[in-house]
Amino acid sequence: MISQQSLFIPDSSGGPEESGLKRFCSRNILIILGFTFIMAVIALITVGLTQNKPLPENLKYGIVLDAGSSHTSLYVYSWPAEKENDTGVVHQIDECKVKGPGISDYAEKTIEIDHSLEECMQRARSVIPQSQHEETPVYLGATAGMRLLRLKDERAADKVMLAVTTSLSKYPFDFQGAKIISGKEEGAFGWITINYLLGKFTQKLNWLNMHIKDKTYQTAYGALDLGGASTQITFVYNKPFEMPEENHVSFQLYGKTYILYTHSFLCYGKDQALLTKLSYDFQNSNGTIKDPCFHPGYERVMDIVEFYKSPCTEKYKLSKMDKLEILGTGNYEQCKQNIENQLFSNDTCGYTKCAFNGTYIPPVQGHFEAFSAYYYVMHFLNFTSQELPSENEVTRIMSNFCALSWNELKSRNTGLKEKYLSEYCFAGTYIFVLLNKFRFTDESWKNIHFVDQMEGTSIGWSLGYMLNLTNMIAPEQPLTPPLPHSTYVFLMIIFSLVLVTVVIAALFIFLKSSFIWKDMA
């Protein structure tokens, strides 16, 4: 039997010099192979980094003009062209408030519309690269102010929209038209904006098998919008058979169907609500009213012409006086009672669930984002820094605020326009009554969050409007890589280093064991 040791006895035909040469050659071949392997790994990482490096952004742009009842705002949005149907890629890059009132106030002076829009449109020209001007869509959506004008005088409304179209068509953008949007659209597009910016439409992918998991759908937030002439409420309600057709809207967004309740209450915006309340008081007065919704010591004289401008006050038989004098008394509880009695009638309702004036509304569900005038008023009253307190605490805070004398309030808030400052007592009271009429309870109104912006983007219907018209939200969920680029690069480097370490360790062990066997021989 041949012993194991005899297997390792070097060939007697070769001398020591030949054995040394073999060892030298073997060692160098292993070193060369190891070096080649390391270079190959480095090349692999380099190729991976180069191939998967994000491409320079090729941005696209869009412009939306929000023509509200009290003013017009222009928004400029941008997004990477190669990610046109992905989620969460649209950003607001500029905002411009058009000087002057809302476009509905130009009904008798349409020639001034072009001048009022010029400054903001020229600003958009400077913000958007000139090479992109012809490709940039421009949309104008007019809301409740124009809806009211159309109710009062359709020809005047058409004249205003024609003047707007003529003005916007002269700029070097891709003008897509001006439209008076419905209250239903305004509420639905506001809801899209909120949930798009919150990332609620995005689904998580299983990065092992790329399958979409149904359970990863996030709960959408509701939307509360308060303007000058109307207010909207929109939220997910998966019982379409319970809703009247005018309150029902559905969207297919990123592979999921959302069934919404939405309603727009015309004449229940902040400004029109105050005008309606004053009209109610005026019809039974001798030209002077003591109003608990204004601070003690406050005085205002209003021309009766202001009341005849709006269809919201047509039902009231106004006094024959030419002027209305308002004297503030500053009493929150009385103000609240007046608002409830004068603005929210108890008409019979044909549904089992109603808000006010016979309007169907189901029980509110989940969290809500409240924006526009909701935010501005509640921010001034310091209700936006935390969740809303209890109803008793709200009553205490609002009672103290409304009871402040007008002179003291002005001394605490220098620089604010007196018209806006004088109306915060009414506006705050009105908001709390309105939320109560929307069936928010002392517990559920703590789920309301007052917001103005998210990720640098102003909250409103305009972003949702543009997303819809440009088909930026795909009906089906877009396929995306299971890993972000940065994670992919990190894992490539880590695994490559692990592989190099293993190979070097194996070479070291192999060489060391070879020398041990040679020494034993």
Which amino acid type is present at position 372?
S
For the segment 316-338, the average pLDDT, to the nearest whole number, is 89
Q: How far apart are CA 459 and CA 181, in angstroms?
A: 17
pLDDT(495) > 90: no
pTM of the model: 0.80
pLDDT digits (tens, 9 = 90+) for 450-479: 999 998 999 999 999 999 988 887 766 555
Determine the Cα–Cα distance for residues 85 and 253; give it in Å rounded to an integer.
Answer: 11
pLDDT digits over 89-147, tens only? 899 999 999 999 999 999 999 999 999 999 999 999 999 999 999 999 999 999 999 99
At residue 217, the 3 state secondary structure works out as coil
Task: Say how far apart CA 322 and CA 302 lie, in whole Å.
Answer: 9
Task: Give the distance, in angstroms, between the CA of residue 202 and the centroid of all CA atoms in the same chain.
Answer: 14
207-219 pLDDT, tens digit each? 444 444 443 345 8
- Same CATH topology for 59-266+455-469 and 270-451: the answer is yes
| Chain center to CA of 237 | 20
Reported confidence tier of residue 339, pLDDT bands at 50, 70, 90:
very high
Does residue 138 contact residue 63 with C-beta atoms inside 8 Å?
yes
More confident residue, 60 or 41: 60
Task: Give me the pLDDT at residue 9, please.
Answer: 42
Per-residue pLDDT band at 514 (split at 50, 70, 90)? low
Structure tokens at 300: 């205002």
Q: Could you give the percent of the chain with pLDDT greater than 90? A: 56
Buried b (16+ CB within 10 A) or exposed e, 402-431: bbbebeebbeeeeeeeeeebbbbbbbbbbb
In 163-285, the DSSP E strands lie at: 174-180, 222-226, 230-236, 248-253, 256-266
Q: 59-266+455-469 in CATH: which number? A: 3.30.420.40
Cα end-to-end distance, the chain, whole Å: 18
Highest-pLDDT range among 76-90, 98-112, 486-500? 98-112
Enclosing H/E stretch for 164: helix 154-169
Question: 429 pLDDT exceeds 80?
Answer: yes
Task: Tell me how far CA of residue 172 lies from CA of 61, 93, 127, 218, in angstroms.
Answer: 13, 19, 13, 41
- Residue 2 is predicted with a pLDDT of 43
Share in percent of the chain as helix, strand, coil (round to 5): 50, 20, 35
The burial of 340, by beta-carbon neighbours within 10 Å (0-12 exposed, 13-18 middle, 19 or more buried), is given as middle
For the chain, the average pLDDT equals 84
- The burial class, CB within 10 Å (0-12 / 13-18 / 19+), for 127 is middle
Among 268, 178, 191, 189, CA closest to 224: 191
Domain boundaries, the chain: 5-51+485-520, 59-266+455-469, 270-451
pLDDT at position 319 is 66
Q: Supply the pLDDT for residue 212.
A: 41
Q: How confident is the model at residue 20 (pLDDT cuts 50, 70, 90)?
A: low
Beta strands 222-226 and 230-236, pairing class: antiparallel
CB-CB contact of 327 with 298 (8 Å): yes
| HSE-up (13 A, CA, CB side) for residue 445 | 19
According to DSSP, residue 317 is labeled: -
At residue 330 the predicted structure's pLDDT band, cuts being 50, 70 and 90, is very high
| The one catalytic residue among 57, 134, 186, 476 | 186
> Is the four-CA dihedral 247, 146, 67, 102 of positive or negative sign?
negative
pLDDT higher than threshold 60 for residue 347:
yes
Residue-level pLDDT at 62: 96
pLDDT of the residue at 249 = 92
- Cβ atoms 106, 112 nearer than 8 A: yes
Helix (H, G, I), strand (E, B) or coil at 100: coil
Residue 8: the pLDDT is 44
pLDDT in tens, 22-47: 555 656 666 666 666 677 667 666 75
- Residue 186 annotated among the catalytic residues of the structure: yes
pLDDT band at residue 178 under the 50/70/90 scheme = very high
Q: What is the CATH number that goes with domain 270-451?
A: 3.30.420.150
